[in-house]
Amino acid sequence: MKVIVLLSLLVSSVVAQDGYAALNGGTTGGAGGTTTTVSAAAAFQTAIKSNTPKVVFLKGPISLSSQASIGNNTSIIGVGTTGIINGGGLRTVGTSNVIIRNLVINKVKGNDAITVQKAHNIWIDHNEFFSDTDHGFDFYDGQVDLTHACDFITVSWNFFHDHFKCSLIGHDPGNSKEDTGKFHITYHHNHWNNIHTRTPAMRFAHVHSFNNLFENVVSQGIHSRSFAQVLIEGNVFVNTTEPGESIVFTLNEIQRLTNLQCLHTGDFEPDGFANFGAASDFGTGRNNITATGNFTSVPYTYTLTPLTSVRSTVTSGAGVGKI
Ligand SMILES: *[C@@H]1O[C@H](CO)[C@@H](O)[C@H](O)[C@H]1NC(C)=O
Ligand SMILES: *[C@@H]1O[C@H](CO)[C@@H](O)[C@H](O)[C@H]1NC(C)=O
Ligand SMILES: *[C@@H]1O[C@H](CO)[C@@H](O)[C@H](O)[C@H]1NC(C)=O
Ligand SMILES: *[C@@H]1O[C@H](CO)[C@@H](O)[C@H](O)[C@H]1NC(C)=O
Ligand SMILES: CC(=O)N[C@H]1CO[C@H](CO)[C@@H](O)[C@@H]1O
């Protein structure tokens, strides 16, 4: 009897986490700790910052003027569709075991919507991120930026929309010493719409990208550079608005420089690798792959949504109010 009870507790505490966040001991956030519901900015900032296990429910909206820091062993979960954070955003640095679910984080100026650094076992699931594209490329920063050797992260079922530069893995091609061998990250069932770049852009990483829906990606989509390896499976691209641009992209600008061709905005660093598993639908988008890699399987089990169902499954399942 005891065994059965224990097993069912274990199952319920790890429910739904998958991908890389499920490895390396798993990602349970604040499961088993205290539970609080907050609805004011100051109470929210206090509730999320300790390192003791805790589940913090946000009944917003709240407005933040700077990023709020999340401690170890923390789950932050929006209540219904009220988990709205205007401005500010979240950061978790030097931590592990953090779950961020069912929040709407929007229009963060001067910082990312979520910054993760030197952290491992992080699960970012069923959130919505948006700003606008009325200003320039750098008016807002990233939506989910994962830098400084973070590892074992899953980004699933999020709705990213109306933004220039969505998600960056690895901030600097000169940071190989810290980053090489880290950045094992899964992106699945995310919905991206009206995005200019970085779905994601990665350096040094091993990224498994499956069953994501990309609508109206205006410029570069999945960008693999500085020796990164991406495994692409069962993704759907719809209405890529500049069909001549690159949807999956591994190119750097070094070749062009050495070929004495004109300087061109871009990143002067080594190429990445792209690997293709189960078929994707690239629509009118065109890929530009300079190097096929050797990252052809992942060390966890997962179930692919059939390609013909990806658009409807992701449209109805991604974002807030769905968990
Ligand atoms: C938070 O987690 C990190 C990574 O596991 C650990 O190094 C750090 O000591 C933890 N902080 C506290 C205060 O326990
Ligand atoms: C497709 O892209 C065009 C050009 O940007 C845009 O005007 C149109 O709204 C898009 N269609 C859909 C269904 O998103
Ligand atoms: C790849 O991109 C480069 C730079 O934009 C371009 O010169 C080249 O023609 C592209 N190749 C393909 C096959 O699209
Ligand atoms: C995979 O390819 C990378 C880049 O060429 C290489 O550094 C690495 O050793 C390869 N790994 C295996 C297991 O062959
Ligand atoms: C209860 C729980 O999950 N505790 C964990 C808190 O985080 C540390 C690492 O920072 C883990 O070692 C604990 O197991």
| Strand, coil or helix: 266 | coil
Q: What tens digit of pLDDT does each residue of 120-138 get? A: 999 999 999 999 888 877 8
Report cis status (omega within 30 of 0) of the bond before 61. Answer: yes
List Cα–Cα distances, 211 to 162, 241, 259, in angstroms. 20, 20, 37
Helix (H) or strand (E) holding 104, with range, is strand 104-106
Task: Note the pLDDT of residue 138.
Answer: 80
Q: What tens digit of pLDDT does each residue of 276-312 get? A: 999 999 888 778 788 889 999 999 999 999 999 999 9
> Is residue 224 domain-resident?
yes
pLDDT band at 260 (very low <50, low <70, confident <90, very high): very low
Q: Atom 6, ligand 1: which residue's CA is nearest?
A: 95
Any idea what the CATH number is for the domain that residue 96 is in? 2.160.20.10
> Is residue 322 domain-resident?
no
Q: How many Cα atoms sit within 13 Å of 80 on the Cβ side?
A: 5
pLDDT band at 17 (very low <50, low <70, confident <90, very high): confident
Ligand nearest to the CA of 117: 1
Task: Note the pLDDT of residue 79.
Answer: 98
Q: From ligand 2's centre to the CA of 240, what distance in Å?
A: 8
> Is residue 181 domain-resident?
yes
Task: Note the pLDDT of residue 250.
Answer: 64
Cα gap 322→317, rounded to integer Å: 6
For ligand 1, is residue 52 a contact (CB within 6 Å)?
no
> Is residue 323 domain-resident?
no
> Is residue 264 domain-resident?
yes
Q: From ligand 5's centre to the CA of 157, what distance in Å?
A: 25
pLDDT at 88 over 60: yes
Q: What tens digit of pLDDT does each residue of 89-109 get? A: 999 999 999 999 999 999 999
What Rg do the C-alpha atoms of the chain give, in angstroms? 19
Give yes or no for a contact between 283 and 237, defined as CB atoms under 8 angstroms apart: yes
pLDDT band at 6 (very low <50, low <70, confident <90, very high): very low
Q: Between these two residues, 9 and 218, which has the higher pLDDT value?
A: 218
Q: Atom 8, ligand 4: which residue's CA is nearest?
A: 294
198 is catalytic: yes
Q: Residues with Cβ < 8 Å from 316, sequence gap 6 or more?
A: none
Q: From ligand 5's centre to the CA of 28, what distance in Å?
A: 9
Task: Note the pLDDT of residue 140.
Answer: 87
Strands (E), 131-272: 144-147, 151-156, 159-165, 167-169, 184-188, 191-197, 201-203, 206-210, 213-217, 222-225, 229-233, 236-238, 246-249
User: Of 91, 101, 198, 225, which is the active-site residue?
Assistant: 198
Q: Atom 5, ligand 4: which residue's CA is nearest?
A: 293
Where in the sequence is the domain holding 209, given as residue range(s)?
2-317
pLDDT band at 242 (very low <50, low <70, confident <90, very high): low
pLDDT band at 262 (very low <50, low <70, confident <90, very high): very low
Joined tokens for residue 195: 């995005």
> Is residue 86 domain-resident?
yes
Q: Which residues pair with 232 in a beta bridge?
A: 209, 276
Q: Between these two residues, 180 and 270, which has the higher pLDDT value?
A: 180
Q: What tens digit of pLDDT does each residue of 141-187 get? A: 899 999 999 999 999 999 999 999 999 999 998 999 999 999 999 99
Q: Which ligand 5 atom sits closest to the C-alpha of 33? A: 1
> Is residue 21 domain-resident?
yes
> Is residue 200 domain-resident?
yes
Q: Does the pTM of the predicted model rise above 0.85?
A: yes
Q: Atom 11, ligand 3: which residue's CA is nearest?
A: 288
| Strand, coil or helix: 78 | strand
Structural domain total, the chain: 1
For ligand 1, is residue 95 a contact (CB within 6 Å)?
yes
Give yes or no for a contact between 226 and 204, defined as CB atoms under 8 angstroms apart: yes
Q: From ligand 3's centre to the CA of 254, what distance in Å?
A: 13
Ligand nearest to the CA of 151: 1
Ligand nearest to the CA of 53: 5
